[in-house]
């Protein structure tokens, strides 16, 4: 199946934020009571280190399990289960562009890209060049490479490759751990886990944000008063003052499976 040859414009939109994760957006995997308010898994909650506020919600019951904030104030989303949004049926393997109001469009068609039906795309971020980076909830074979649930996988519009190799870190992340969400903060890769995970002398719980600097892991932050019974299903660094989108974005032709984004 033909793949687009141009480098996708989604990518260019990322920009670089110098903000830390004291300000971030998240979705819990189950209804989770924090600071006296129940946060739903179809709602994106913003935390500034003190307060929690609702940014937006999908229709009740449509669970978000992947999240990336674009500088254009649009969002990349993935769903935990197949669901209809705005008259389009989306698959758990898909990445959806949400305009923040009522517009949904497909930007990564998981099935068309060869992702097996048993895999669920469970994390979304972008590399420094803006390439899409994703993760899955089970071992997933793409382009002849077996990716683990804790791996982060770059897609450049043509091929899949390892962005973060969970078994190659020191110490390695156990293959029994799934990375449930991820993002970048400067040069750091930020991860959250589905189960308590021991890395060296530290054990990280599902509500904690763990940083990888290329050499070692460390506790980065965690939502205030996060209960141990919940996982962070989706995570995005907040970018309150985004740069304007670039002009002159390349356009793709033919059987697009990962389309360019509107300006």
> Closest distance between Ca ion and the C-beta of residue 135, in Å?
3
> Closest distance between Ca ion and the C-beta of residue 126, in Å?
16
Q: Biggest alpha carbon distance in the chain? A: 51
Residue 89 has phi, psi (to 5 degrees) of -85, 125
> Closest distance between Ca ion and the C-beta of residue 131, in Å?
17
217-221 and 232-237: which strand pairing?
unpaired
The residue among 40 and 135 lying less far from Ca ion, judged by its C-beta, is: 135
> Closest distance between Ca ion and the C-beta of residue 124, in Å?
9
The residue among 3 and 93 lying less far from Ca ion, judged by its C-beta, is: 93
The residue among 71 and 110 lying less far from Ca ion, judged by its C-beta, is: 110
> Closest distance between Ca ion and the C-beta of residue 113, in Å?
14
The residue among 204 and 252 lying less far from Ca ion, judged by its C-beta, is: 204
As a residue count, the chain comes to 263
Q: Is the dihedral of CA 34, 37, 41, 43 positive or negative?
A: negative
Binding residues for Ca ion (CB under 5 A): 65, 78, 92, 120-122, 135, 149, 178-179
The residue among 149 and 223 lying less far from Ca ion, judged by its C-beta, is: 149
The residue among 120 and 131 lying less far from Ca ion, judged by its C-beta, is: 120
> Closest distance between Ca ion and the C-beta of residue 120, in Å?
5
């Amino acid at each position: 199946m033909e793949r687009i040859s141009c480098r996708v414009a989604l990518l260019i939109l990322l920009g670089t934020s110098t903000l830390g994760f004291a300000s971030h957006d998240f979705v819990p995997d189950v209804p989770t009571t924090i600071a006296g308010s129940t946060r739903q898994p179809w709602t994106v909650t913003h935390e500034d280190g003190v307060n929690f506020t609702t940014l937006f919600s999908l229709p009740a019951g449509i669970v978000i399990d992947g999240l990336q904030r674009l500088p254009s104030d649009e969002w990349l989303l993935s769903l935990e289960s197949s669901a209809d949004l705005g008259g389009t049926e989306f698959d758990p393997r898909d990445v959806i562009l949400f305009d923040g109001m009522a517009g949904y469009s497909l930007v990564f068609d998981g099935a068309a890209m060869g992702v097996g039906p048993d895999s669920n795309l469970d994390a979304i971020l972008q590399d420094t060049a803006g390439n899409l980076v994703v993760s899955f909830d089970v071992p997933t074979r793409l382009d002849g490479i077996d990716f683990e649930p804790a791996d982060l996988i770059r897609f450049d519009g043509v091929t899949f490759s390892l962005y973060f190799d969970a078994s190659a870190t020191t110490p390695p992340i156990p293959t029994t751990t799934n990375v449930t969400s991820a993002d970048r903060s400067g040069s750091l890769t930020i991860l959250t886990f589905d189960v308590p995970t021991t890395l060296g002398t530290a054990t990280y719980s599902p509500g904690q944000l763990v940083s990888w600097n290329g050499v070692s892991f460390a506790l980065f932050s965690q939502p205030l008063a996060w209960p141990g019974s919940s996982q962070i299903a989706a995570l995005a660094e907040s970018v309150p003052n985004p740069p304007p989108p670039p002009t002159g974005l390349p356009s793709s032709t033919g059987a697009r499976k990962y389309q360019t984004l509107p300006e």
